[in-house]
């Protein structure tokens, strides 16, 4: 039931070597169960960041993972709006809380074929 979904990104942030990438929020929702959703960030043919949640996302639940330093979390939201922190269910062999590198990159999501994926990242310019 799993499927690979691809998101191509262009990050025009400018960090001048002071930061590795832009923080992002990833949302995965599905009308079916999604087992151990995972994703990889690829730049210039190399994997630069990975994340995987060791959980079963039930029907109509939503997984939200934020890598914003001031608000970093991994949560599963229920249809009624309640949520549970699932940060402890991340696969700690991965980099976790991925960041989007400057320039062109691709994010590969391994999720249920009925899953919807949304990725939002912050485009920033450091002032020096």
> pLDDT for 43-60, tens place per residue?
999 999 999 999 999 999
- Among residues 57, 22, 23, which one has the least CA distance to residue 38? 57
- Within 13 Å and on the Cβ side, how many CA atoms surround 25? 11
Helix (H, G, I), strand (E, B) or coil at 88: helix
* Token digits of residue 64: 């939200």
Residue length of the chain = 128
Give CA–CA dist 40/89, Å, rounded: 17
Interior angle at CA 13, CA 27 and CA 50, nearest 5: 40
Q: What is the pLDDT of residue 2?
A: 64
> pLDDT for 106-126, tens place per residue?
999 999 988 999 999 988 887
Mean of per-residue pLDDT scores for the chain: 93
Q: How confident is residue 20, by pLDDT bands cut at 50, 70 and 90?
A: confident
Phi, psi of 69 (to 5 degrees): -55, -35
């Amino acid at each position: 039931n799993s499927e690979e979904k691809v998101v191509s990104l262009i990050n025009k942030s400018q960090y001048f070597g002071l930061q590795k990438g832009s923080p992002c929020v990833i949302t995965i929702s599905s009308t079916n169960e999604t087992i151990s959703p995972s994703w990889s960030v690829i730049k210039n043919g190399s994997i630069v960041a990975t994340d995987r949640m060791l959980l079963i996302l039930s029907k109509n639940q939503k997984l939200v993972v934020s890598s914003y330093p001031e608000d970093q979390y991994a949560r599963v939201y229920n249809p009624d709006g309640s949520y549970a922190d699932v940060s402890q269910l991340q696969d700690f062999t991965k980099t976790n809380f991925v960041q989007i590198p400057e320039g062109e990159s691709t994010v590969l999501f391994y999720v249920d074929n009925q899953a919807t994926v949304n990725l939002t990242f912050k485009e920033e310019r450091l002032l020096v």
